[in-house]
């Protein structure tokens, strides 16, 4: 397997970087260290360090939902975000970052209101979407911005 045939995926549970063959993404790859699923269509909760590794280093696009537990629209959007994660897997990974627990990350990302979605690809921000959205809008936003 050539390096071009594999993507790097950061484990949302332990932060370990994993090389995954592109043609095996749909098979449900697991972290080599902790065994957590890497691209199974579930939304992963991130801490600050894992957020930084995934958004900078991952070979697949990452859509991060910046949210807080006290935010009503954030809580209302959570099931829609989960539906979008299933629809976009395994080619895009959807993750969440609690802005209350990690204010330094949200400040660095320039988050002014929540919920806020930021799409990252190849270590760079590609696009932003503000406000609570239904799954169809989230999927359309990602597809439109990834081409």
Order the strands of the 116-121 sheet from edge to edge: 44-46, 93-98, 62-67, 116-121, 124-130
Nearest to 110, CA basis, from 92, 132, 95, 125: 125
Active site residue 14: no
Which member of 14, 31, 34, 71 is catalytic? 71
Q: Give CA separation, 107 vs 9, 100, 102, 103, 136, in Å.
A: 25, 11, 9, 6, 28
Active site residue 71: yes
Is 39 in contact with 24 (CB distance < 8 Å)? Answer: no
d(CA 147, CA 128): 15
Active site residues: 71, 74
């Amino acid at each position: 397997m050539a390096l071009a045939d594999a993507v790097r995926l950061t484990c949302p549970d332990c932060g370990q970087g994993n090389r995954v063959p592109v043609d095996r993404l749909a098979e449900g790859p697991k972290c080599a260290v902790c065994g957590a699923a890497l691209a199974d269509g579930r939304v992963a909760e991130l801490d600050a360090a894992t957020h930084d590794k995934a958004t900078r280093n991952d070979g697949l696009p990452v859509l991060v939902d910046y949210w807080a537990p006290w935010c009503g629209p954030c809580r209302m959007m959570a099931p829609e975000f989960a539906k979008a994660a299933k629809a976009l897997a395994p080619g895009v990974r959807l993750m969440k970052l609690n802005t209350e627990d990690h204010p330094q990350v949200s400040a660095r990302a320039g988050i002014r209101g929540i919920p806020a979605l930021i799409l990252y690809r190849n270590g760079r921000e590609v696009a932003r979407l503000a406000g609570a959205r239904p799954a169809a809008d989230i999927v359309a936003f990602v597809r439109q911005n990834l081409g």
